[in-house]
Structures are given as structure tokens and as C-alpha cells.
Structure 1
Amino acid sequence: MSSLPVASEQRALQALRGSLVVSCQAPHGDPLDDTETLTRIALSVLQGGAGGLRAEGAERIVSFRTKTDLPIIGLLKTQDRDGRVYITPNFKSAKEISDAGADIIALDCTRRRLAEAEPWTEIIPRIHEELRRPVLADIATLEDALAAEAAGADAVASTLYGYTADTEGARTISWTLLDSLLNRLRIPVILEGHVKQPEEVSRALQAGVHAVVVGAAITCPRSITARFVEALCHAGTGAT
């Protein structure tokens, strides 16, 4: 197991304790998929009280870093031939986002990545030793989380629940998974994924999570509008 010096680890992760982190990203091709636009969104959520940001890609991280000293969770997304998206799949991508100014490196630590030529179990110690950054393990299951902790991850986030073969299709928070993570892990647990209501943030923090990451429910007008339109459709058909 690899580990960071206590001071280096606490400076970023401990600053996020009890806070709302906002993921300021946009899908490729979305009207908001523009660095200046996303930077303005980042500034807006910071003014609203966000305690940190989650950002994808070196260009966006560099831009966000010029606007805030608060922690930035950085990642780099890649896509394979089958359209599967992976988060920071190798050390090169981790170094790129670290050099851009990310304080914490988000890393896909799911079972599906263990068979890769550069598995995440080898990337975590390199991030610690060469980049001196803490690692946030993005996981989908309790088994992923336990393996990530054993490999030296500094925190875990439920980011990939619903996006792997064994959890595919889930689009609501798994409170059962969250309880298991909190009961079994010694490292901080962060709730991320499928958070839609402020009450869910409160419930998670009261349960003991370190922080909560919210993305589309705050930063994506397309998905927010779609939820309202769906409500209109239900009202029009008399559904309750």
C-alpha cells in the first residue's frame, strides 16, 4: 500500500470535509462544451457556496485554477472503440491533469480496469510517489472500493455506480451501497452520481460521507429542463 505524507493528503481532502463539490463538465458536443462557458459556470457555483470543483481535461483545470484556490478534483476521460468512457486510464493522463493544477486525481478503480496493460493498482503508487497527489477512487461496487483502499487510494467516490456491467442501468443513489462503504472503509467516502435533490445531500452528510459531488442537477440545463418537461407530460396525462 502506498501513502502520502499526512500534510499533503489533508490539505486537499480535508478541505472538502462536509462540503458540496460541483462537477463542471459537459458532454462532447453539448452547447456548454466550451472552456470559457464552463469556467463561467464554475465561477457561478463557487459564488453559490461550492467547496470545490470537479473538472475534466487539462484545459478546463488550468482555467478553473486561475479563478479559485479551492480544491479541484481532476480527471481525464477517454473512450474506447465500443464507446465506453474511462476516467484517467493511465499515468500519463494523471500527470497531465496534475500538471494542470488538479489537487486530487480521480481514477477509475473498477474491476473492469484491472486487466488493462496499466492497471490502476500500478497507477496509484506512481501518483503518490511521482506527483505527490491524493487519489480519489471512482468505484461502482463495495468490492471495487475495498480493493482500491487496499491499493492505497486516499478516498472513494460512488461515481461509477450505474455505469459498469454489474451495475448498468441504475440511475438513483444506492443508499445500501453507501451504507456499506461507510461501514467497511477506513478512508473517506464521497457520494457522487445520481444526486438530484438538496435533501439527498443532507441525508448523505448526516450518514457520514466526507463530501458530496453534484453535477448535472446543477450545471446541465438540458437535463434540468428535461425533468420539468417530463413533469408536464405526466400532468397532461393525469398521471400522479
Structure 2
Amino acid sequence: MSQGSNPSFNSPFHLLRGRIIVSCQAAEGDPLDDLETLTRIATSVLRGGAGGLRAEGTTRIAAFRTLTQLPIIGIIKTYDANGDVYITPDFHSARVIVDAGADIVALDCTGRRLTAPEPWPELITRIHTELRRPVLADIASLEDALAAERAGADAVATTLYGYTAETAGIRSPSWLLLQSLVARLTIPILLEGHITHPQEARHALDLGATAVVIGSAITRPETITNRFVQVTRQTGIQSSSK
């Protein structure tokens, strides 16, 4: 039996069942990359009914913790020389986000991180034993997810589908991947990434996802506006100034 079956580790995921989790993040240089701004966004989504938050960095996690007792998924992002992003790549990162108030630690649990200085299977064990927190495995494939479950991950999220070498450039949810995860895994499954419409979130839950994580479609006006602009250009109905 995997460590993911431990009820004390799983309790935050029980609270998230059937809920929308909002990822309140902003890339460096984004107009929203400001603690007060992101805190206001977090306040708004909580008022709108979000069942939990996903947050990057200790200052944001700590600020969000003052807003709610609902589950917070915490991460630290780092980048390599090629600009590739890695999520909570070492134990120090996990420890500081737990100290900041995260209920759940999310890790990059893709195959590319197995040869890292601190491979994620070891991190899962240390987070369980030393930090006493559940681990959310951010994955890109069924193979990643199965390996994460074997290593003791408490849940998986499709966060990295579209961001690994094998899936690069994909910007739509993989319903086939979700169905495969539901069929093969016994731990909670979060659909995260590329959701743009409420109907897609409903469809994910209907297919068996435990919860759905939504970011840009809710929190990034630039992305939302651009989506409208692109559609009007495609249909040729963008009005000209008079």
C-alpha cells in the first residue's frame, strides 16, 4: 500500500473533492506580479467559491494563508540554464513553503527529474517523514503518474502536460490522459492546465477528476483579453475605429 493511502496525508484532498482550485500566480514582469495585487485576486476567487489555492513562493503562500483555512498547494519554481521550469526541486524548497503555510507540497515528478541531485522519489519520502505534509505529483504522462503513485505520492496533477519534451506546445486538456489516470490510479487526480471554459471543468469532474485547478483563465486579464481578440480577428468582425 502506498503512503498516499494514509488518511492524515489525504485529508486536504478530501476537502478539495469536486472543487475548483485557483492558481494565483504571475510570471516575472507580468503587470500582476505584485504581492498586494495577487492577494486581492486570491481574495476575489475565494469570495467566488474557490475550494483552495495554488501559490508560488513563500511570501505569497504566507499572505494567502492569512485569508483562508482552505487548502493551499505550495510550490517553488526554479529555472535551468535553458529556461526550463522545475517545480519544488529540492527539500529546502519544500521546507520553506511548508513553513510559510502550505498544506500540500507540489513536486515535478516527471521522468526528467529522476536524475536530479535530489530525485523526487526521495523528496516524497522526506516530505512525508520530516514535514508531515502530503505530496501532489505534477506529471505529464500516465507513466509519470504510475511512478509517482508507486513512490508514495498522495495525488497527481496534470500540470506539466504540455511542458515536457514529449508534450511540448500542447495547449489543450488531454481527456484521454485524464481517463487513463482515472482508470489506473487509486489516489486523487487533479486536472490542471489549459482549462479555458467552465464546461471543461465540469467535464473533467464528470470523467472522474477529484478537482480542477484553473489559473490563467481566471486570474490573467492579459491572457483572457488576448483570447477574445484572437477570436474576433479570426472571424473578421473586429470593428475598426471611427
Same fold (TM over 0.5): yes
Aligned residue for 2:114? 114
Of 7-16 and 109-118, deviating more is 7-16
Aligned residue for 1:222? 222
Aligned residue for 1:211? 211
Q: Is the 8 A contact 2:4 2:152 kept in 1?
A: no
Unpaired segments ≥5 residues, structure 2:
none
Q: Is the 8 A contact 1:17 1:211 kept in 2?
A: yes
Q: Is the 8 A contact 1:2 1:128 kept in 2?
A: no
The one-letter code of the counterpart of 1:139 is I
Q: Distance in 2 between matches of 1:230 and 1:3?
A: 46
SS of residue in 1 equivalent to 2:145: helix
The one-letter code of the counterpart of 1:30 is D
Aligned residue for 2:8? 8
Equivalent runs, 1:1-240 vs 2, <5 Å: 3=3, 6-236=6-236
SS of residue in 2 equivalent to 1:74: strand
Q: Is the 8 A contact 1:55 1:72 kept in 2?
A: yes
Percent of aligned pairs with the same amino acid: 64
How much has 1:14 moved relative to structure 2? Answer: 0.8
Q: Distance in 2 between matches of 1:122 and 1:133?
A: 14
User: Alpha carbons of 1:4 and 1:112: their partners in 2 closer, same or farther (altered >3 Å)?
Assistant: closer
> What's the TM-score once normalised by structure 2's chain length?
0.95
User: Could you list the per-position Cα deviations for residues 79-114 of structure 1 after superposition, in whole angstroms to 9, with x for gaps in the alignment?
Assistant: 111100000000100001011000000000000000
- The number of aligned residues is 238
Q: Distance in 2 between matches of 1:131 and 1:14?
A: 20
Structure 1 ranges of 4+ moved more than 6 A: none
Unpaired segments ≥5 residues, structure 1:
none
Q: Is the 8 A contact 2:191 2:213 kept in 1?
A: yes
Q: Distance in 2 between matches of 1:152 and 1:6?
A: 10
Q: Distance in 2 between matches of 1:36 and 1:85?
A: 24
Q: Distance in 2 between matches of 1:100 and 1:2?
A: 27
